[in-house]
Amino acid sequence: MLTLFEQAIVLHLIGDWILQNHWMAENKPNLKHPAAWIHAGIHVVLQSIVLGLLAGVILGILHMLIDTRLPFRWWRDHFGMTAEGPNSTHVAIWTDQVLHVLCLAAWFQFAIPHLS
């Protein structure tokens, strides 16, 4: 049996890898584009399944903000991560995924104890 945290991570991966199409991936950094809102909405629905609507909405908004790529660019620029070359795409993808998982972990660490 998966823990609640593991369920949230699995649903995150489903939303980011299985239910995200090319249109979303290309356009989600632009908050004025419907792809950003649809992709975030998918995460709201998925996280709401296991964590409730409040968590789904908050985590969906955080997901959308991370997907603007601004947090990644800030991190890359301030910590000297590779911006070019054969590994730059992998670094960007994995940094994005780590930021999303950190949001889930923060929810479990800080929000859930106060909601119980």
Express each pLDDT in 10-49 by its tens digit.
999 999 999 999 999 999 999 999 999 999 999 999 999 9
Q: Answer whether 45's CB lies under 8 Å from 78's CB.
A: no
* pLDDT recorded at residue 116: 64
Percent of the chain with pLDDT over 70: 99
Sequence spans of domains, the chain? 4-115
Q: pLDDT tier at 113 (50, 70, 90 boundaries)?
A: confident
Rounded Cα gap, residues 37 and 34, in angstroms: 5
State pTM to two decimals: 0.91
Q: Answer whether 103's CB lies under 8 Å from 63's CB.
A: yes
Quickly tell me which residue has 């930021």 as its tokens. Answer: 99
Of 30, 27, 10, 3, the closest CA to residue 100 belongs to 10
DSSP code string of 34-58: HHHHHHHHHHHHHHHHHH-HHHHHH
Express each pLDDT in 65-99 by its tens digit.
999 999 888 888 888 777 777 888 888 889 899 99
Q: Answer whether 83's CB lies under 8 Å from 75's CB.
A: no
